[in-house]
Amino acid sequence: MNTSSLPILPCLCGSFRRTSRALTRLYQNALRPLGLRPTQLTILQVLSRTGELSQGKLGEMLAMDSTSLTRTLAIMSRQGWITERRGEDRRERWLRLAGGGERKLRSALPVWERVQSRLRQRLGDQGWDSLLQLTHHLTDMATTQGGLL
């Protein structure tokens, strides 16, 4: 039985976008005191795990459009969280975590982990793992299989 006051949306895209907005708001409220946005945290996490990578590859990994990513990276660069260098092709930008980004990430991880833990607790381990697998699979389908059309 559905006890939620939210209607079930018939469109998968609409439903995921609503969920994304709600989750973003949850993480944003937790990260706000640190002066960090969820998108910036995700970029810091990716760069921490991958080391240096191209802006194009980062955009692919995050399924982000170039304009939004460029705008976010410019802010992060001004904050001293990332560094960039030009590739052999002048249009190519290579990104890596700067010292300020490492410090920002370290300060944000306990906050992020608390939000993650609360969500995982509410979903249960099986629900959590299933949801992560499902979202990964859907993203992969939508981005690598010709847009499914």
pLDDT at site 128: 97
- Which residues in the chain show pLDDT less than 50? 1
75: left (phi over 0), alpha (psi -120 to 50) or beta: alpha
Q: Quick one: pLDDT at residue 87?
A: 83
Looking at residue 3, its pLDDT comes to 65
Q: What DSSP state is assigned to residue 63?
A: T
Q: What is the pTM of this model?
A: 0.90
pLDDT of residue 35: 97
Whole-number pLDDT of residue 91: 82
CB–CB of 137/145 below 8 Å?
no
